[in-house]
Amino acid sequence: MPETIFSKILSGEIPCHKVYEDARVLAFLDINPLAFGHTLVIPKEPAPTMDALSEESAAALGAVLPRLCRAVMEVSGCRHYNLLQNNGAPAHQAVFHVHFHIIPKPSSDEGLGIGWPAGSLEDGAALAERLRNALGA
Ligand code: AMP
Protein backbone atom coordinates (compact mmCIF):
# COMPACT_ATOMS: atom_id res chain seq x y z
CA MET A 1 0.00 0.00 0.00
CA PRO A 2 1.33 3.52 -0.77
CA GLU A 3 2.52 5.65 2.15
CA THR A 4 -0.04 7.90 3.79
CA ILE A 5 0.10 10.55 6.49
CA PHE A 6 -1.10 7.90 8.93
CA SER A 7 1.57 5.35 7.97
CA LYS A 8 4.11 8.12 8.58
CA ILE A 9 2.54 8.75 12.00
CA LEU A 10 2.74 5.01 12.73
CA SER A 11 6.41 4.87 11.75
CA GLY A 12 7.18 7.96 13.84
CA GLU A 13 8.20 9.96 10.77
CA ILE A 14 5.66 12.65 11.63
CA PRO A 15 4.36 13.43 15.10
CA CYS A 16 0.90 13.09 16.57
CA HIS A 17 -0.83 13.75 19.86
CA LYS A 18 -1.21 10.14 20.97
CA VAL A 19 -4.27 9.20 22.99
CA TYR A 20 -4.03 5.39 23.01
CA GLU A 21 -1.86 2.59 21.65
CA ASP A 22 -1.86 -1.19 21.75
CA ALA A 23 -0.38 -3.93 19.54
CA ARG A 24 -2.90 -3.32 16.72
CA VAL A 25 -4.42 0.13 17.28
CA LEU A 26 -3.33 3.76 17.60
CA ALA A 27 -5.57 6.72 18.54
CA PHE A 28 -4.54 10.36 18.26
CA LEU A 29 -6.06 13.83 18.01
CA ASP A 30 -7.31 15.04 14.63
CA ILE A 31 -5.17 17.98 13.48
CA ASN A 32 -8.22 19.84 12.11
CA PRO A 33 -10.91 18.97 14.65
CA LEU A 34 -14.59 19.37 13.87
CA ALA A 35 -15.11 19.74 17.61
CA PHE A 36 -13.02 19.83 20.79
CA GLY A 37 -11.84 16.27 21.46
CA HIS A 38 -12.11 15.01 17.85
CA THR A 39 -10.04 11.81 17.92
CA LEU A 40 -8.90 9.41 15.19
CA VAL A 41 -8.59 5.67 15.77
CA ILE A 42 -6.56 3.65 13.26
CA PRO A 43 -5.39 0.07 12.85
CA LYS A 44 -1.65 -0.44 12.57
CA GLU A 45 -2.40 -2.70 9.60
CA PRO A 46 -2.03 -0.64 6.41
CA ALA A 47 -5.46 -1.21 4.83
CA PRO A 48 -6.88 1.64 2.72
CA THR A 49 -10.57 0.93 3.39
CA MET A 50 -12.65 -1.14 5.82
CA ASP A 51 -13.42 -3.87 3.28
CA ALA A 52 -9.66 -4.56 2.98
CA LEU A 53 -9.05 -4.84 6.74
CA SER A 54 -8.38 -8.15 8.49
CA GLU A 55 -10.84 -9.49 11.05
CA GLU A 56 -8.09 -9.34 13.68
CA SER A 57 -7.55 -5.59 13.20
CA ALA A 58 -11.30 -4.97 12.96
CA ALA A 59 -11.83 -6.86 16.21
CA ALA A 60 -9.05 -4.90 17.93
CA LEU A 61 -10.60 -1.60 16.80
CA GLY A 62 -14.07 -2.69 17.89
CA ALA A 63 -12.79 -3.80 21.28
CA VAL A 64 -11.29 -0.44 22.17
CA LEU A 65 -13.72 1.99 20.52
CA PRO A 66 -16.26 2.07 23.38
CA ARG A 67 -13.49 2.99 25.89
CA LEU A 68 -12.17 5.68 23.60
CA CYS A 69 -15.67 7.06 23.07
CA ARG A 70 -16.18 7.23 26.85
CA ALA A 71 -12.86 9.08 27.29
CA VAL A 72 -13.77 11.58 24.55
CA MET A 73 -17.20 12.08 26.14
CA GLU A 74 -15.67 12.67 29.57
CA VAL A 75 -13.02 15.13 28.43
CA SER A 76 -15.17 17.01 25.90
CA GLY A 77 -18.13 17.12 28.29
CA CYS A 78 -20.33 15.96 25.40
CA ARG A 79 -23.00 13.30 25.91
CA HIS A 80 -23.46 13.06 22.13
CA TYR A 81 -20.98 12.22 19.40
CA ASN A 82 -20.64 10.76 15.92
CA LEU A 83 -18.49 7.75 15.05
CA LEU A 84 -17.56 8.25 11.39
CA GLN A 85 -15.64 5.98 9.03
CA ASN A 86 -15.24 7.10 5.40
CA ASN A 87 -14.28 4.78 2.53
CA GLY A 88 -13.30 6.24 -0.84
CA ALA A 89 -12.86 9.81 -2.04
CA PRO A 90 -16.54 10.29 -3.05
CA ALA A 91 -17.40 9.17 0.50
CA HIS A 92 -15.16 11.96 1.88
CA GLN A 93 -12.09 9.84 2.60
CA ALA A 94 -8.93 11.96 2.33
CA VAL A 95 -6.39 9.65 3.98
CA PHE A 96 -6.31 6.15 2.53
CA HIS A 97 -5.57 4.28 5.71
CA VAL A 98 -8.62 2.99 7.62
CA HIS A 99 -9.67 5.33 10.42
CA PHE A 100 -12.61 6.02 12.70
CA HIS A 101 -13.41 9.57 13.73
CA ILE A 102 -14.86 10.11 17.20
CA ILE A 103 -16.45 13.54 16.87
CA PRO A 104 -18.13 15.17 19.87
CA LYS A 105 -21.47 16.86 19.10
CA PRO A 106 -21.67 19.80 21.50
CA SER A 107 -24.84 21.17 19.89
CA SER A 108 -26.92 20.75 16.74
CA ASP A 109 -24.85 23.50 15.05
CA GLU A 110 -21.42 22.11 16.04
CA GLY A 111 -19.45 18.97 15.26
CA LEU A 112 -20.29 16.82 12.25
CA GLY A 113 -23.03 17.98 9.86
CA ILE A 114 -24.65 15.18 7.87
CA GLY A 115 -26.80 15.20 4.73
CA TRP A 116 -29.22 12.28 4.96
CA PRO A 117 -31.24 12.02 1.73
CA ALA A 118 -33.37 9.08 2.86
CA GLY A 119 -35.36 7.09 0.31
CA SER A 120 -37.82 4.27 0.92
CA LEU A 121 -36.84 0.62 0.79
CA GLU A 122 -38.03 -1.21 -2.34
CA ASP A 123 -38.10 -5.01 -2.42
CA GLY A 124 -36.13 -5.48 0.80
CA ALA A 125 -36.56 -9.27 0.77
CA ALA A 126 -34.75 -9.66 -2.58
CA LEU A 127 -32.04 -7.20 -1.63
CA ALA A 128 -31.41 -8.86 1.74
CA GLU A 129 -31.19 -12.22 -0.06
CA ARG A 130 -28.62 -10.84 -2.51
CA LEU A 131 -26.57 -9.53 0.40
CA ARG A 132 -26.80 -12.86 2.26
CA ASN A 133 -25.61 -14.57 -0.91
CA ALA A 134 -22.73 -12.08 -1.21
CA LEU A 135 -21.76 -12.92 2.36
CA GLY A 136 -21.86 -16.62 1.52
CA ALA A 137 -24.35 -17.09 4.40
P1 AMP B 1 -11.05 11.46 6.19
O2 AMP B 1 -11.67 12.57 5.38
O3 AMP B 1 -12.08 10.56 6.82
O4 AMP B 1 -10.02 10.69 5.38
O5 AMP B 1 -10.33 12.16 7.40
C6 AMP B 1 -8.95 12.39 7.47
C7 AMP B 1 -8.69 13.16 8.74
O8 AMP B 1 -7.31 13.14 9.00
C9 AMP B 1 -9.12 14.63 8.68
O10 AMP B 1 -10.08 14.88 9.70
C11 AMP B 1 -7.81 15.39 8.92
O12 AMP B 1 -7.97 16.55 9.70
C13 AMP B 1 -6.98 14.34 9.64
N14 AMP B 1 -5.54 14.52 9.52
C15 AMP B 1 -4.83 14.72 8.39
N16 AMP B 1 -3.52 14.81 8.67
C17 AMP B 1 -3.40 14.65 10.01
C18 AMP B 1 -2.29 14.65 10.91
N19 AMP B 1 -1.03 14.83 10.50
N20 AMP B 1 -2.54 14.46 12.23
C21 AMP B 1 -3.80 14.29 12.67
N22 AMP B 1 -4.88 14.27 11.86
C23 AMP B 1 -4.69 14.46 10.55
Tell me which residue has its CA closest to atom 13 in ligand 1. Answer: 30
Using 50, 70 and 90 to split pLDDT, how confident is the model at 2? confident
Please choose, from the candidates 83, 75, 74, the residue with its C-alpha nearest in 3D space to the C-alpha of residue 41.
83
Tell me which residue has its CA closest to atom 15 in ligand 1. Answer: 31
Neighbours of 8 (CB within 10 A): 14
Ligand 1 shell residues, CB under 6 Å: 5, 14, 16, 30-32, 40, 86, 92-95
Domains of the chain from N-terminus onward: 5-114 (3.30.428.10)
Taken in order 24, 29, 35, 37, is the CA torsion positive or negative?
positive
pTM here is 0.97
- End-to-end, the C-alpha distance of the chain in Å comes to 30
Above 80 in pLDDT, residue 82? yes
pLDDT digits (tens, 9 = 90+) for 93-137: 999 999 999 999 999 999 999 999 999 999 999 999 999 999 996
Residue 99 annotated as catalytic: yes
CB 33 within 8 A of CB 23: no
